[in-house]
Chain A
Amino acid sequence: MRLSAILSLVVMLVACDAARGPVTLHPADRPPERLSDWGIVFADGKTFELNADVVPYDLNTPLFSDYALKMRTVWMPPGMSASYMAEGVLDFPVGTIISKTFHYEKSGHQKNGSLTVVKADRESALNEDAELDLSDYVLIETRLLVHYEDGWTALPYVWNETQTDASLEIAGDDRQLGLVAGTDTLDIVYVVPDKNQCGGCHVTDHGAKDLQPIGPKAWQLNRDYSWWGNDATQLENWSGRGLLRGFDGDAPAGVRWSPPGQATLEQRVRAYLDVNCAHCHNPAGAADTSALHLNLDAPVDRLYGICKTPVAVGRGSGDRPFDIYPGRPQDSILVYRMQHSDPAIAMPELGRSAVHTEGVTAVSDWIAALNGDCR
Chain B
Amino acid sequence: MHASMVTYTARRQSGSASLRASNIIFTMILVLLFAACSKEPPAPSDDAALAFQKELQTQLIAARPGDVITIPAGVHPINRALSLNISGVTIRGEGMDRSILSFKGQVQGAEGLLVNASDFTIEDLAIEDTAGDGLKINGGRNIVIRRVRIEWTNGPDENNGAYGIYPVQAVNVLLEECVAIGASDAGIYVGQSRNVVVRNNRAERNVAGIEIENTFNADVYGNVTNENTGGILVFNMPDLPQPGHSTRVYQNTVVGNNTDNFGAEGTPVASVPAGSGIVINSNDRVEIFDNDIRDNDTANIIISSYYATGWEGMRDMGEEYDPYPETIYIYGNRMSGGGASPDGLDLKALKVAMFGLNGRLPDVLWDGYYNAEKVDGGGNLLPEYAICVDNGAAQVLNADLPNDSAGIVVGAEQHNCSHEKLPAVVLEAPLG
Contact = CB atoms under 8 A, between A and B. Distances in A.
Interface of A: 8, 11-12, 15-16, 19, 30, 33-34, 36, 160-162, 164-165, 167, 170-172, 174, 189, 191, 194-197, 199-200, 203, 206-207, 209, 286, 288-289, 291, 302-303, 307-322, 333, 342-344, 346, 349-350, 353, 374-375
B32 A12 contact: yes
Interface in B11-50: 11, 29, 32-33, 35-42
Pairs A-B, 7 closest by C-beta atoms: A314-B162, A317-B266, A160-B40, A319-B265, A12-B36, A15-B33, A344-B132
B37 A15 contact: yes
Given A312-B168, A321-B314, A375-B313, A194 B42 contact: no
B410 to A, nearest CB: 32
Contacts, number: 194
B241 to A, nearest CB: 7
Contacts of A200: 83, 114
Nearest to B240: A291
A342 B107 CA distance: 8
Nearest to A162: B39
A contact face: mostly helix, strand, loop, or mixed = loop
Contact of A343 (B33, B108, B169, B241): B108
Given A171-B54, A315-B159, A319-B265, A196 B41 contact: no
A206 B84 contact: no
A15 B55 CA distance: 33
A160 B42 contact: yes
Contact of A12 (B33, B158, B185): B33
B267 A11 contact: no
A131 B182 CA distance: 53
Given A12-B33, A165-B40, A289 B192 contact: yes
B191 A167 contact: no
Interface stretch (B57-65, B278-286, B339-347): B57-65
B184 interface: yes
Contacts of B40: 160-162, 164-165, 167
Contacts of B332: none
Contacts of B81: 197, 343
A33 B185 CA distance: 43
B138 A289 contact: yes
Given A30-B11, A302-B318, A314-B185, A291 B241 contact: yes
Contacts of B109: 197, 343, 349-350
A19 B315 CA distance: 63
23 contacts: A11-B36, A12-B33, A16-B36, A160-B39, A171-B57, A171-B61, A174-B79, A174-B108, A196-B60, A196-B83, A206-B116, A289-B169, A289-B192, A312-B162, A314-B264, A315-B132, A316-B264, A319-B265, A322-B266, A333-B266, A343-B109, A349-B109, A374-B315
Nearest to B238: A309
Interface string B123-148: 00000000111000011000000000
B178 interface: no
Contacts of A12: 32-33, 35-37
Contact of B264 (A189, A319, A343, A349): A319
Given A8-B32, A200-B83, A160 B41 contact: yes
Nearest to B159: A315
A15 B36 contact: yes
B106 interface: yes
A164 B106 contact: no
A170 B267 contact: no
Interface string B180-202: 00001100010110000000000
A319 B266 contact: yes
B162 A343 contact: no
B39 A164 contact: yes
A196 B61 contact: yes
B184 A206 contact: no
Interface in B248-269: 264-268
A191 B264 CA distance: 28
B213 to A, nearest CB: 8
A313 B189 CA distance: 13
A333 B55 CA distance: 36
Contacts of A170: 58, 61-62
A300 to B, nearest CB: 14
Nearest to B60: A196
Contact of A314 (B84, B191, B267): B267
B240 A311 contact: yes
A51 to B, nearest CB: 16
Nearest to A319: B265
A175 to B, nearest CB: 11
Contact of A15 (B32, B133, B239): B32
B267 A343 contact: no
B131 A344 contact: yes
B237 interface: yes
Contacts of A309: 237-238, 266, 268, 311, 315
Given A171-B57, A343-B109, A375-B313, A317 B138 contact: no
B110 interface: yes
Nearest to B166: A312
B161 interface: yes
A275 to B, nearest CB: 19
Contacts of B169: 288-289
Given A196-B60, A286-B138, A314 B108 contact: no
Contacts of B161: 314-315, 344
B163 interface: yes
Given A11-B29, A291-B240, A311-B239, A321 B265 contact: yes
B80 interface: yes
Interface string B67-102: 000000000000111011100000000000000000
Given A199-B85, A312-B185, A303 B239 contact: yes
B316 A174 contact: no
A89 to B, nearest CB: 20
Nearest to B310: A321
Nearest to B211: A312
A289 B268 CA distance: 15
B71 to A, nearest CB: 16
Interface in B149-166: 158-159, 161-163, 166
Given A289-B168, A311-B268, A314-B185, A189 B29 contact: no
B37 A315 contact: no
A127 B237 CA distance: 54
A314 B132 contact: yes
Given A171-B58, A286-B138, A309-B311, A343 B110 contact: yes
B185 A209 contact: no
Contacts of A319: 264-266
Nearest to B84: A196
B312 to A, nearest CB: 10
A162 B158 CA distance: 44
A172 B109 CA distance: 13
B224 to A, nearest CB: 24
A209 B37 contact: no
Contacts of A15: 29, 32-33, 36-37
Contacts of B108: 174, 189, 191, 343, 350, 353
